């Protein structure tokens, strides 16, 4: 893992912790306001001091992408059939699962903003999900925030995210 990737991962974790803290302090915040507070908050401005603006935006993109992937599955209702996924305590998805039911409309709006159909590259960050190598089809399950490695089977650096199934 490169120094840069591990630094971005550390910053990503700080953002998630900040998001969780804000939600714990005010559970009535809807998703959209929560997200707005995050980008206007201390953790994000500290992050901008630690790394370049471009890298800070990148970390934010990783987080948005994770949230978007969650929302896409949530909207497809497939997640409700994957109790094992949201049952993992203290993960981003477990926590998102708790708040999404309260503000469906807001989440739907946010999902529109966050639409993402691209590929995942090694060196990028993902919080949770199943990645499949575009070259050999090898699948990797990721259950906590991680830097995406090269494919352990063929060293390919490109992946797609597969919908979670029970």
Listed in sequence order, the DSSP H helices in the chain are: 3-25, 31-40, 42-50, 53-75, 83-86, 92-100, 104-113
Residue carrying structure tokens 């529109």 = 112
- Least distance (Å) from Zn ion to the CB of residue 158? 9
Residue 156, interface with Zn ion (CB under 5 A)? yes
Among 136, 144, 160, 163, binds Zn ion (CB under 5 A): 136
Burial grade of 41 (CB within 10 A; 0-12, 13-18, 19 or more):
middle
Among 48, 64, 108, 138, binds Zn ion (CB under 5 A): 138
Which range in 11-19, 54-62, 65-73, 126-134 contacts Zn ion by CB under 5 A?
Answer: 126-134
Contact 55, 48 (CB under 8 A): no
Residue carrying structure tokens 């990148």 = 58
Q: What is the dihedral of CA 131, 12, 72, 140, to 10 degrees?
A: 10
CB nearer to Zn ion: pick between 105 and 136? 136
Residue 71, interface with Zn ion (CB under 5 A)? no
Among 41, 109, 135, 149, binds Zn ion (CB under 5 A): 135
- Least distance (Å) from Zn ion to the CB of residue 120? 13
Among 133, 140, 148, 164, binds Zn ion (CB under 5 A): 133
Q: What is the DSSP string of 38-49?
A: HHHSHHHHHHHH
Among 154, 160, 162, 163, binds Zn ion (CB under 5 A): 154
Binding site for Zn ion (CB under 5 A): 133, 135-136, 138, 151, 153-154, 156
């Amino acid at each position: 893992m490169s120094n840069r990737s591990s630094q971005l991962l550390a910053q990503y974790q700080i953002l998630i912790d900040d998001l969780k803290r804000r939600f714990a302090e005010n559970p009535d915040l809807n998703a959209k306001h929560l997200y707005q507070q995050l980008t206007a908050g201390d953790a994000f401005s500290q992050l901008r001091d630690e790394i370049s603006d471009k890298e800070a935006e990148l970390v934010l993109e990783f987080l948005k992408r994770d949230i978007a992937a969650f929302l896409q599955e949530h909207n497809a209702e497939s997640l409700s059939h994957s109790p094992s996924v949201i049952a993992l305590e203290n993960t981003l998805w477990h926590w998102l699962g708790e708040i999404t039911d309260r503000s469906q409309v807001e989440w739907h709006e946010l999902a529109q903003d966050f639409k993402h159909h691209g590929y995942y590259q090694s060196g990028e960050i993902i919080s949770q999900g199943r990645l499949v190598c575009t070259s050999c089809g090898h699948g990797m399950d990721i259950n906590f925030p991680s830097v995406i490695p090269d494919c352990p089977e063929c060293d390919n650096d490109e992946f797609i995210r597969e919908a979670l199934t029970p």
